[in-house]
Structure formats: structure tokens, C-alpha cells
Structure 1
Amino acid sequence: MSAAFLGDTVVIERAGERVTIPLRVVRAIRAAEGDSRTVEITLTDTVVHTIAANNPTAATAFVAAVAAALPARPDERGSALVRTEAVDAGPPLFASRRNLVLFVAAVLGYLAYVTYLAVAHGPSAIFGAVIGLLPLGLAVLAAVQTVTRLYDKTVLRRRGVVVLARSTGRLGKRSVYAFTDAEGDARTYRSGLHADTLEIAYDPANPKRMASMTPLVLEIPRVIVLVLFTALFGAIGVGAVFGPLLP
């Protein structure tokens, strides 16, 4: 299940269906009593919709954002204005990564490899292992950037707080979009897309982590370029670093 606050509506997606609730028919929103991860949205006709947040922090941020935008005089028609439609199931969530552990493991592995080269092939073999770090590092950086971008767009689409950001102008070739998070802090997001508004999802536990809610298919050209870059520099780096081991 996921939920998004789009400025004048709350959209709830659960297995096989999407429920769109206009803000004008919401009488109250709060965390469920005894369960800080569950959000309850009460309509003007007393019907209650529930949302299972990923964690209490996300639930609190979502409640605060929606509550601040509730109308002073809600529409009494309630559920009559709520729209329910069938949708396809979303993509599975990726597993989380522990970057620090991976970095330390990579450094220790590299030092062990360089030590092996010095002992087995002589000090001269270390030269290629050191020079090859540059192209190999660029390849790894491009791969990490691609995976991180897709990871953020996918995970925040389902777990983040979604807001409607408004364009404040351009900075170079990129548009700058501004919005206010649930804590009342002003945030900005830069994008190559130029529009009056843009849906942005951010992590309530770390609002600096954000992604636009544009379709993932738009990432294909960027991913193709980065994959080619990764393959080219990866091949050069692997050849230089692991040359002594290659037949």
C-alpha cells in the first residue's frame, strides 16, 4: 500500500486499486489510536479510510502535511466524491544497502589484492592496479549513480511523501521547483523538465533525499548512456587492475 498527497487530493494505492479522495471531503486525519504507523482519514459522511505507513515518522509527516491543508468548511457529500479505480500492481521494493560496509569491504579487498600482486608478481605489477583505479572508479561511480537514481525513484514513489512543487524559474538549463515539507521547511528540487508544477516525493526521515514522480520510462535514455559509459571504462579499468591475473 502507498499514499500520496497531491495538494488537493489524497491518493491511496493498494493491491489492484487506486482510491482518490478530494481534500474537500476530509473532515479529519490522524494516527490510529495505539498504532502510530496507521493513518486514519475520516470523511464528512463518517467513512474512514486507513493507510499503513512504512514507519511512524512517515505517518506523522503525512498527517501533518494533509492536516495543514484541510478546508475550513468541508464538503458534506463525503464518499460520493471519492473515486475508486482498478490499477496494476506496483513494482517490488528493492532491498536497502549499507554503503559504509560495502566501502570498507572494497578498500580492504583492494589492499589485500595489491599485497598479493606485490608478493606473487613483484612490485611492478602494482603500477597497473593503481593506474586502473581511475577508469574503474569512474565506472563504479556511474553504476552507483544509475542504481541510486532508479532506487530513489522507485522506493520514494511508494514510501515517500508526495507533494506538488511549483517552478520558481531556471538555474542554467534546469528548472528549480520549490515546496514546503511537513516540518515547514522550504525545499528545492532541480530538474531538466520545464513545467509549472512537478510532483516530488521526499523521504520524511531525510527530506534532502527526493525524486521526481515522472514515469520511469523517461529514465531509459539516461540509463543507456550510463550503461555504455560504465561498460567502456569498466573494461579499461578491469584490464589494468586485474591484468596480471588474466590469461
Structure 2
Amino acid sequence: MTKTAIITGATSGFGQACARKFAHDGYKLVIVGRRKERLEALQSELSQITDVHYLVMDVRERQTVFDGFYELPEAFNKPDVLINNAGLALGLEPAHQANLDDWETMLDTNCKGLMYCTRALLPGMVERKCGHIINVGSMAGNWPYPGGNCYGASKAFVQQFSRNLRSDVHGSGVKITNIEPGFAKTEFSLVRFKGDESRADTLYQDAEHLKPDDIADIILWTANTPAHVNVNTLEVMPTNQSWSPLAIHKNDN
């Protein structure tokens, strides 16, 4: 039988790349995002390959999430895969200068939004004794960097939430995976710097980076592993990225 994948944050970046990869692999799709025109364009493109349903949804809105998923057409209402991809970073200022509204938006999206989508769809997977939730975390959940403050903390939540989900669904046949990309170029930095293209582009200048297709290939491979195989966590960086040395501050004398 044809499998169904639900992808949040499908209007750009990893989510959009996943939609294309999963469609070409034969999955039916539910694509989720806030920008209706992009969802319509993606649906029009991929409907030539597979069945596609879209949901205009802000994952931060709890009732909207539950209503949207509970009212899915019958052909899409038993998803095999949920890709919790919707997320964002805002700002790169140190904590004592950070915008508190930005912090709250990151927590609402990266943590609460992921929670709402998971809680809406997980009971059905457990009841059916199959399904796979793939959370898109970040290496920032493992390794701190200046300015990462609340973003890194939100992705550490994704990591621990994924681990605890694995414990909760033990024996149910449901799989849980956390994918943790490193340095990647999507609209991520453009959002982080609130539309400042020059500042966003500077980050990637003269540096090889992960591309959306790289992560989408990994997510698709993870989703297609045999039923008895669970990839718990997968951290991936471009070859030219590694962990930073510990910082030492020396007093000026």
C-alpha cells in the first residue's frame, strides 16, 4: 500500500526538499505551512507525481493543529510518517542583548509546535502499531556557540523529547528519530536576520555547506529503513565543519 507522509514547514528548505524526495519515492503527501501560495505551487508541481493535500497552518496554534489533522480527508488521515520540520532561529545576539519576543517565538515554534503535531498524530500511530516520527533538531542542541542561546536550548528540547518519546512508545512498533543538521544553507539565516540578505549571505561566503537535498536524502533513507531498525539520532555536518575548541578568555594587562 502507498504510504503517507506529513511534512511541516514544507514551503521552503528541508521541508520542501523532503516533499519532492518523498513524492518521487511514491509517498502520498500532506504538506503543511503558513504560506498558502507556496503550498499551492508545491501541490501543483507534485500532484503530477502523487496525491498531495495541503494544510495552511501555523504550528504554534494548538487548536488549529489538532483541528487540521483531525479533519484530514480519509485518504490522508492514517499517516505513516510525520516529519516535524517547522522551526526557526531569530537573532544571533548574546543573551543579555537578545530580544525576548524572539526567544518566545523560537520556543513556541521549535518546542510547542513540535509537541502539538506529535500529540495530535502519535495516538493513531500507537493504535495502528506502526508509524514514524522524524524530528528535525540541530547540532546546536548538542554544542553551544555564541548567540545560540535560546535556539540551541530549543533544539536540546527536541533531542530529549525525541529520546523520551522512544521510551514511551517502546514495544508499540512506532519509530522515533531525531535528525540534527549542522551548517546548512536554506532560508534559515534569512529568517534569523529578519530579511537582511547581505548579513545572511556573509555566513556562507567561501564555505561549503549542507544543502536541503542532502538532509532530505537522509530523512528519506531513515524513513525507509526496515520496521525493525530505528535510527535514534543522526548528527550531520558538512565535511568542513567540526566542533569548536573550548574558549579561553585572558585578561588584558
TM-score using structure 1 length: 0.25
- Structure label with greater radius of gyration: 1
TM-score using structure 2 length: 0.24
